[in-house]
Amino acid sequence: MIKRVSLVRRKPGMTRETFLAHWMGPHADIVRQLPGLRGLRFGIVERWSPEEAAWDGVGEIWFDSIADAERAFRTEPYIGMLIEDRKKFMGEAQWCFVEERTAVAPPPASVNT
């Protein structure tokens, strides 16, 4: 399994609360529809070092392979929906694909709704 990790930053002038509500609400509703999606997790940044490089969130989505992820992000209507939606709340994003290697298993993730 492969994970795409995204660092996201809100649009200038947007409050953190408004950004988070949209990112984990309407935007997540679109992401949940991606074909082949195996998991979705949000990390809300509490502190970043160095502070001037701060991101607002870390998104994680899982697919069986990079090819499956790339295919999902090319699939219409989802890619068009994501592109248009990002314009509403996202100022900047960077992402990478990672393969996890667990040394110590974390506690079960909590689900906040």
| Per-residue pLDDT reduced to its tens digit, 6-15 | 999 999 999 9
93 in any annotated domain: yes
Rounded-to-integer distance, Cα 20 and Cα 25, Å: 8
Residue 50, preceding peptide bond in cis (omega within 30° of 0): yes
91 in any annotated domain: yes
Going across the sheet that includes 57-63, the strands are 39-44, 57-63, 2-10, 90-98
> How many structural domains is the chain composed of?
1
Q: Tens digit of pLDDT for each residue in 58-72?
A: 999 999 999 999 999
Alpha helices per DSSP H over the chain: 16-22, 28-31, 66-74, 78-89
Return the DSSP state at 11: P
Identify any residues that bridge with 95 across adjacent strands, giving them in sequence order.
6
**pLDDT for the residue numbered 15:** 96
**pLDDT for the residue numbered 112:** 64
CATH code (residue 83): 3.30.70.100
The domain containing residue 12 runs over which residues? Answer: 2-98
87 in any annotated domain: yes
Q: Tens digit of pLDDT for each residue in 2-55?
A: 999 999 999 999 999 999 999 999 999 999 999 999 999 999 999 988 887 789
pTM: 0.88
Q: Tens digit of pLDDT for each residue in 87-110?
A: 999 999 999 999 989 899 888 877
**pLDDT for the residue numbered 49:** 87
46 in any annotated domain: yes
109 in any annotated domain: no
